[in-house]
């Protein structure tokens, strides 16, 4: 007779949706299995039946976040242009569930300890983001190349995302975003 285990009581997507905020808030190194069990409602054996390791769960969470964030839809909205760029940057300031910044950018703080695949995912994501920004900027009249402005915006986005982890950073974000948009619209 074949030994059949209990059927799993969760979906992979719902588990990842609940794991993302834990990794986002605490980072990879400071997230323990107990915190993941508590947040997801799935015990250790259930987590490890779905994922090979904490690293595997982290990578799946990061991938889930990247695939489900709103940046792509904000930057592909017609008509393309500055309004999309500004709406996208406002998302950093208005994160869900009390989170700060961007989970993918925040993971850059731990590049020495996160799986190398995380660095590859973040690098690819920032490259894709730059291309979407450049398309929006191309729809506007500029004296500089859209790719050049897009690089500056991505750098601002990364810095603003990291700064959101500081209390002062959250308060100053609106002012900084307004100033950036004034400057890049004049380029």
| pLDDT digits (tens), the chain, 187 positions | 444 455 567 799 999 999 999 999 999 999 999 999 999 999 999 999 999 999 999 999 999 999 998 788 999 999 999 999 999 999 887 777 678 889 999 999 998 999 999 999 999 999 999 999 999 999 999 999 999 999 999 999 999 999 888 877 767 888 999 999 999 999 9
The answer to whether residues 152 and 128 belong to one domain is: yes
% helix, strand, coil for the chain, step of 5? 70, 0, 30
Number of domains in the chain: 2
Please check whether residues 159 and 88 belong to one and the same domain.
Answer: yes
pLDDT of the residue at 182: 97
For residues 87 and 29, state if they share a domain. Answer: no
Q: What pLDDT score does 9 carry?
A: 75
Q: Give this prediction's pTM.
A: 0.90
User: Is residue 110 assigned to a domain?
Assistant: yes
Q: Report the alpha-carbon distance of residue 44 to residue 157 in Å, rounded.
A: 36
Domain of residue 135: give its range: 70-185
- Please indicate, yes or no, if residue 39 is contained in any of the structural domains: yes
Distances (CA, A) of 23 to 27, 106, 136, 184: 5, 10, 31, 33
């Amino acid at each position: 007779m074949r030994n059949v285990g209990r059927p799993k009581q969760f979906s992979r997507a719902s588990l990842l949706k609940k794991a993302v905020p834990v990794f986002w808030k605490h980072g990879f190194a400071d997230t323990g299995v107990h915190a993941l069990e508590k947040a997801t409602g799935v015990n250790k054996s259930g987590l490890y039946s779905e994922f090979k390791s904490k690293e595997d769960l982290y990578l799946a969470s990061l991938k889930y976040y990247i695939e489900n964030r709103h940046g792509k839809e904000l930057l592909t909205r017609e008509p393309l242009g500055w309004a999309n760029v500004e709406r996208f940057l406002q998302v950093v300031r208005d994160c869900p569930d009390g989170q700060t910044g961007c989970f993918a950018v925040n993971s850059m703080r731990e590049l020495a300890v996160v799986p190398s695949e995380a660095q590859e995912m973040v690098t690819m994501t920032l490259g894709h983001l730059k291309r979407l920004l450049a398309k929006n900027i191309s729809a506007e009249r500029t004296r500089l190349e859209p790719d050049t402005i897009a690089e500056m915006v991505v750098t601002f986005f990364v810095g603003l995302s990291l700064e959101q982890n500081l209390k002062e950073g959250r308060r100053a974000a609106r002012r900084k975003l307004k100033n950036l948009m004034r400057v890049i619209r004049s380029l």
